[in-house]
Amino acid sequence: MEVRNLIFDFGNVLFDLDLPRIPRGFQRLLGDQYPAAQEKLARDRVFELYETGGLTSEEFIDALRYSASPALSAEAVTEVWNSIFLDMPRERLDMLINLRQNYKVFLLSNINEMHEHWIADYMLRKHGVTDFESTFFDGVYYSHLIRLRKPDREIYEYVLADAELKPEQTLFFDDLEVNVKAASELGIRGILHPLGTEIISHVEQVTTLGT
């Protein structure tokens, strides 16, 4: 069946990230306290809650600050948390614009409020774009706003229903196999985007082939 819809993950698909910077940064800040703090934050599901809108940014920052004694500064926590971002070349923005001439294009990302704000600021500073989401996408689905996250089945069902998409007409690009597999179980044509490869070439290949 003809492909009509393209859904993109954000991190390490459209925007290059260095995810290990976060644990490295907190190891540096926490020192010997890092293992215990990491265990407590995982037990309290702090990162998952923040990613699905269950914690405000202030509550999240405080949870990280007070995972150590003495408490970390809010500025230090914020700096480490936002350190993962590398770059999104202009060519990828141009790709999205071009794709929208022939497809409906969507963004589906496990993301939190601070990172959403950082990206908006980056788009203005780097590319002079003030309306990133509406300029480059027909719809944007952020986990912290819809309170659902990948790879849970419900987030894909939500996107399909909200955007009125037929799964068999939809391609989904993600860098994690578990997310691709979950989408594929609903009939979406999930495509794994290998880390370190260029999404422009990948998209050109699969849309040319019609797969």
Alpha-carbon distance of 114 to 111, in angstroms, equals: 9
pLDDT, position 207: 80
Tens of pLDDT along 55-78?
999 999 999 999 989 999 999 999
DSSP state string for 129-158:
-S-HHHHH-SEEEEHHHHT--TTSHHHHHH
Collapsing DSSP states into helix, strand and coil, what is residue 164? coil
pLDDT at 173 over 50: yes
pLDDT, position 209: 47
pLDDT at 174 over 50: yes
Tens of pLDDT along 24-51?
999 999 999 999 999 999 999 999 999 9
How much of the chain exceeds pLDDT 90, in percent? 94
Tens of pLDDT along 114-130?
999 999 999 999 999 99
Confidence of residue 211 (pLDDT cuts 50, 70, 90): very low
- CA count, 13 A, side-chain hemisphere, 44: 16
Alpha-carbon distance of 151 to 190, in angstroms, equals: 12
Q: Which one-letter amino acid corresponds to residue 176?
A: L
pLDDT, position 21: 97
Confidence of residue 148 (pLDDT cuts 50, 70, 90): very high
pLDDT, position 210: 44
Mean pLDDT of all residues in 152-166: 98
pLDDT at 208 over 90: no
Strands (E), the chain: 5-8, 16-17, 85-87, 104-109, 139-142, 170-174, 189-192
Is 6:188 a contact under the CB 8 Å cutoff?
Answer: no
Alpha-carbon distance of 142 to 116, in angstroms, equals: 9
Q: Which one-letter amino acid corresponds to residue 82?
A: N
Instruction: Copy the structure tokens of residue 22.
Output: 């976060």
